[in-house]
Structure 1
Amino acid sequence: MEHLSLFLILSLLATAYPILQACPTNCHCHGGDLQHVICYSAGLTKLPKIPEQTRLLNLQKNFFPVLAPNSFKEMKGLVSLHLQHCQIKEVTSGAFRGLKKLVYLYISHNDISVIGTGAFDELSELTYLYMDHNKILEIPKGLLSPLFNLFIFQMNSNKVREVKAGTFTGAKDLRWLYLADNDITTLHPGSLDEVENLAIFHIDGNQLSTYPLAAVSKLRVVEDFRISRNPIKVIPDTAFQSFGRYMESLSLEHMGLEKFSEKAFAGVTTLKKLNIEGNKLSQLPANAPFSTMQNLTLANNPWHCSCQLAAVRRWMDSSRFRPDATCASPSQYRGQQIRDTGAFRSCKVPTKKSRKGERH
């Protein structure tokens, strides 16, 4: 009898084990112990049951309109979670509670308009957060507070209207911030104070009508700055000074930009790429950093080809890039390319002494 009982127990365990370890219906599983569970477009309306040792769960193109509290609490081993194109409308407070090992979270391309303040509680290891292409109206204060390891925050193509002071409290290690193609009219002073180490900052395609000098002046090491496609007419003095020693790429195209203040480029010493295409510029300031420039995009501006613009021609003559840029005035040079026109023939070349002075 004792042997029979042992045999029955072993038989039950043998039949139960495959059930516990079975790949969810309509899904594909890879790696030992179902470490990667792929349920892409599997017709799911409920979250599948997966073993705790699963590291990657791909649920793209299913239907989960609301992510309720503790939705993933049994999935403690997850490192990467993919929820793109799932028609999610609401992420409640505590939705991702328990995912203490999660590093990658993709909830982009959904219909999220409501996101609970505590939605990201316990995600202390989260490093990459993708929330682009949703309908989010605001980033709730405190939402990112648990995410002290956050490195990339992707929020392009939402409906955010303003960024308030304290928005990024807790996310002190954030390095890449993408806020392009929202409806932002205001970057409040103090809104970027907690993320002063941003290296990439994209806020193009918004509704900023004045340059947000007070907000960006706390940034220290921005290398790639995009603020194009905002209706800003004037770039003020010291616009980039706080991070000018690091900035290598600056995008200011298609803004209706009319003028750079004379000291707009103060402190900018490493700029390699500048795009100012499609604006209303006729001149550039004397301190524009041509000495470091490698790529300059100038087309579709009404350039006034006087000696004040001669530095552009000198840059073209010394560069392998000879970009399109057409004189709009004076009338005798209208329609001529800056790279070919004789408008600068009588302009004096700066002396060596003044060039040395510019570099310091």
Structure 2
Amino acid sequence: MIFIALTASVLCLLPQTVPALWACARACPASCTCTSEKRCTVLCDRSGLSSLPREFPCEASSINLDKNSLKFLSERAFGTLPSLRSLSLDHNNISFITPGAFKGLPNLVELKMAHNEYIRYLHTRTFTGLKRLVRLDVADCNLFNMPDRIFLENYALKELFCFQNNFRRIPGALRGMENLTHVYLERNKIEAVAYNSLLGLGNLRYLNLQENRINVIHDQSFQDLLRLENFYLNDNLLSELPKVAFKGLWRLKMLNLGGNLLTNVSRTWFSDLVELEVLYLDRNRLVYIEEGSFENLTSLITLHLNSNNLSSLPFSVFQPVYFIGRLYLFRNPWECDCSLEYLKEWMESYKLVRDIPCASPSSVAGLDLSEVVYARVNGSCIDPGELNLTTAQSEILSTTENRFNSLISKLLQQELRDEVGNGMESLRNGTLLDSAEGLGSGVERVVASPTLVSFLVVCRVLWKVIGGVFPFGHVTGT
């Protein structure tokens, strides 16, 4: 048995001369499926495994062990698999990884261990021997930190997925990893970016720090990120930035600062971002943008300023940005005076912007800027005025009350004429005394007619309760 085991181990180290299809199928673990259309692939996902199979085909180039119940990885857990390039251990119950667990996998390029909620700690030598590792995924575990020297042998590492863990700071293990191109640290608990957090990452192109608790960024924190192209800092707690926070990031194409607590934009922030194409400043508390803040953004295509507290936006803020293609400004309390007339012209002429609801002045409140008509006197724009709503309402009520009183007077006069007419008819048909009595009773009825009194009371109540609230002539149908 020892001889057979040694022979198998030696065969894995020798050039592969046996047909891959036969060799892959011969050594396939009982609970797994093995295919070899191009390379030997071992599929052990969803197999109910609580421990690793004793051996894998030495020709295996890919092993999938996702969604099992694996708890422990011992030293050299996978034996010697010189052809293995991809290993996936996502969605298991791994709680401890013995140092050297991945020894014997010298050509491994991708290692995935995401969604293992019991991994809270990694030893300094966890990834020892993986000198060709390019992509490592430890997302959605419960890691609180990483040893500073954990990647000492992984100098080929380019992509690191560490999102949705419990990091309170950017792991020091990243410093000096000059081949890193993509780092995913979103949805952690990082509170600050120190001046030395990202030192030596000269080839980094993608950095995601969104949905953390970052409230402080030190000066020159990004000084080494000279090749950075996509940068996510959105949904943090930033209320201010260093004056030259993004100095030297000439290759940056997308910057997301949305969902923070920024109240103003400084003209020094973006002065070096000559290749920036998309800028997110939405969902902040912006009330002021300094003149010239976007003047060097000559490549800018899309600018998001929606969901802030902006009421004005002078044209000088954009000069000399000529190539902007989309401008998002909705959900701001815009004051649609003459200072925004240029925006309306942009809306009509270049279709750069739409949906700019006016909050003031009251004469245009609720309208979209595209619906506002600016008056002109001697060629000069006149701001829409504020409506004097109190005076206007008083005038409406006064006019309506006069009309109501006039209507009541006419009704009284008509009732009196009818009763007097009835009295005169009695004079012609009866005695003088009887007629006089009839006339007197007729006048009396004008004064004391129950029908008329009831009518007047109802009208007065309607006037007090309804008329004062919904003036005649201003009630719309439901």
- Normalising by the smaller structure, the TM-score range is 0.7 to 0.9
The equivalent residue for 2:344 is 313
Shift of 1:65: 2.4
Q: Deviations over 1:284-339 (max 9, x none)?
A: 24131663122221111011112322232222112345521111122211111012
The equivalent residue for 1:145 is 175
Q: 1:316-331 alignment to 2 at 5 Å?
A: 316-320=347-351, 322-331=353-362
2:217–2:241 CA contact under 8 A, matched in 1: no
Match of 1:94 among 98, 120, 125: 125
2:71–2:96 CA contact under 8 A, matched in 1: no
Shift in CA distance, 26/211, structure 1 to aligned 2, threshold 3 Å = farther
2:248 paired with 1:218? yes
2:131 paired with 1:131? no
The equivalent residue for 2:271 is 241
The equivalent residue for 1:358 is none
Name the aligned partner's letter for residue 65 of structure 1: S
Shift of 1:218: 3.2
CA distance in 1, matches of 2:67, 2:227: 39
Larger Rg: 2
Q: 1:1-360 alignment to 2 at 5 Å?
A: 13=7, 22-23=27-28, 26-30=31-35, 31-32=39-40, 33-47=59-73, 48-50=77-79, 51-87=81-117, 88-141=119-172, 143-243=173-273, 245-285=274-314, 286-288=316-318, 291-320=322-351, 322-343=353-374
1:149–1:173 CA contact under 8 A, matched in 2: yes
CA distance in 2, matches of 1:206, 1:129: 21
1:273–1:294 CA contact under 8 A, matched in 2: yes
Tell me which of the two structures has the higher relative contact order, counting C-alpha pairs closer than 8 angstroms and 6 or more residues apart. 1
Shift in CA distance, 52/296, structure 1 to aligned 2, threshold 3 Å = same
Shift of 1:36: 0.5
Q: Deviations over 1:112-165 (max 9, x none)?
A: 112111122211111111111111111233x12352111111111001111111
Normalised by the size of structure 2, how large is the TM-score?
0.66
Name the aligned partner's letter for residue 151 of structure 1: T
1:28–1:37 CA contact under 8 A, matched in 2: no
Shift of 1:215: 2.6
1:250–1:274 CA contact under 8 A, matched in 2: yes
Shift in CA distance, 28/219, structure 1 to aligned 2, threshold 3 Å = farther
CA distance in 1, matches of 2:164, 2:5: 51
CA distance in 1, matches of 2:96, 2:366: 58
Shift of 1:278: 0.9
Q: Secondary structure at the match of 1:216?
A: coil
Count of matched residue pairs: 339
Name the aligned partner's letter for residue 193 of structure 2: V
CA distance in 1, matches of 2:164, 2:6: 48
**Unaligned 5+ runs, structure 1:** 1-7, 350-360
CA distance in 1, matches of 2:93, 2:29: 16
2:176–2:199 CA contact under 8 A, matched in 1: no
**Unaligned 5+ runs, structure 2:** 12-22, 41-58, 382-478
2:131–2:154 CA contact under 8 A, matched in 1: yes
Q: Relative to structure 2, which stretch is displaced further, 264-273 or 221-230?
A: 264-273
Normalised by the size of structure 1, how large is the TM-score?
0.86
The equivalent residue for 1:4 is none
Q: Report which of the two has the higher share of helix.
A: 2
